Amino acid sequence: MRAISQDVLGGPEVLKVVEAERPEPGPTEVLVRVHAAGVNPTDWKHRASGLYLGRPPFVLGWELSGVVEATGVGVTLHKPGDEVFGMLAYPQGAGAYAEYVTAPSRRFVRKPESIDHVQAAALPLAAQTAWQALVDTAGLGPGQRVLIHAAAGGVGHLAVQIAKARGAYVIGTASEPKHALLRRLGADELIDYRTADFAEEVRDVDVVLDTIGGEYGPRSVRTMRPGGVIVTITPRDVRVGDVPGVRSEVLLVESDHATLKEVAALAEAGRLRAEIDLVVPLEEAAKAHAHGETGRTTGKMVLSVVP
């Protein structure tokens, strides 16, 4: 099978097409023919630094959509021919930039019939991150006010939709050209971070989703009500720490069957949809990484494996 691998750490140019042996499913595993694989900022961070994967060679990618080709002993959820989407174990289970993957069957759920493989591949990692941050960690509910940083980003724009589905009042930070999209997705209030200081403009927030890191976390505390929760998904960057009256949490997404079913239900109902910024063939993964590192993407990028 074809896969995208790298022998050294570095820029997008280290990503190469290689021929690899097609894996075989073990007990409780499924073999999935990948039709599309999502691309996320964590991918290029691992490409450049190794982060949690260590030294190359390795194949990147955690989220995908495809068709079950074979099943191992003990699998009851999926059968050959089923269209599924899901997420490999993060961070140790990377490998979605390939024509085939194997993983435990419960890493996947049925792909909603209403969306195609490209759309489905853009959801698992980013949407599960948003759900686990807002719902599982912060307990976001109806009437609460949530501040989402980088609201037009891969995680951010899905978090906006999940928050609205939960009945929250959504405030987002994003550049002004992206405001129209975010309003269509349901954002109630938007701050252009280039011309306004969100820490001065926003008050009485119950939940903050910090997808940026650095000083965004500490500055966000000024916007929060006592008892509020701030969740950061950038654990290597500066974070809030202990602040009286505010609970601070650091989240690494986990591939979780129950969360993925919630994501699939929202997508099936038309309440969660990825904004697709770029789709390129598998062999052009380096192009997607280079584009992502400009910081100008809106929504998600996807590798098309089966045209």
The pLDDT tens digits of the residues spanning 180-207 come to 999 999 999 999 999 999 999 999 999 9
Sign of CA dihedral 215, 122, 263, 91: negative
| Model pLDDT, residue 245 | 85
C-alpha–C-alpha distance, residues 203 and 262, integer Å: 30
Q: Is the peptide bond before 244 cis (omega within 30 degrees of 0)?
A: no
Does this model's pTM top 0.75? yes
> Tokens 């951010």 belong to which residue?
156
pLDDT (0 to 100) of residue 240: 65
How many CB atoms sit inside 10 A of residue 29's CB?
A: 21
Question: Rounded mean pLDDT of 206-211?
Answer: 97
Q: Look up the CATH architecture of domain 2-123+274-304.
A: Alpha-Beta Complex (3.90)
Output the DSSP codes for 8-62.
S--SGGG-EEEE-PPP---TTEEEEEEEEEEE-HHHHHHHHH-TTT-SSPEE---
Domain 126-250 belongs to what topology? Rossmann fold (3.40.50)
Confidence at residue 34, expressed as pLDDT on a 0 to 100 scale = 98
**Confidence label for 239 from pLDDT (cuts 50, 70 and 90):** low
Q: What angle do CA 118, 119, 123 make, to 5 degrees?
A: 115
CA quadruple 120, 262, 160, 43: dihedral sign: negative
pLDDT of residue 294 exceeding 70, the answer is yes
- Residues 6+ away with beta carbon under 8 Å from 273: 115, 119, 161, 267
- CB–CB of 48/60 below 8 Å? no
- Output the CA torsion 202→173→190→118 (10° steps): -150
Please report, for the chain, the start and end positions of each structural domain, with discontinuous segments joined by +: 2-123+274-304, 126-250
- Report pLDDT for 307: 80
128-181 pLDDT, tens digit per residue, is 999 999 999 999 999 999 999 999 999 999 999 999 999 999 999 999 999 999
pLDDT at 244: 76
In the predicted model, is pLDDT for residue 257 greater than 80?
Answer: yes
Q: Is pLDDT of 241 > 80?
A: no
pLDDT of 45-96, one tens digit each?
999 999 999 999 999 999 999 999 999 999 999 999 999 999 999 999 999 9
pLDDT of residue 237 exceeding 60:
no
Note the pLDDT tens digit of each residue in 90-126: 999 999 999 999 999 999 999 999 999 999 999 999 9
Written as one letter, the residue type at 182 is L
pLDDT at 238 > cutoff 60: no
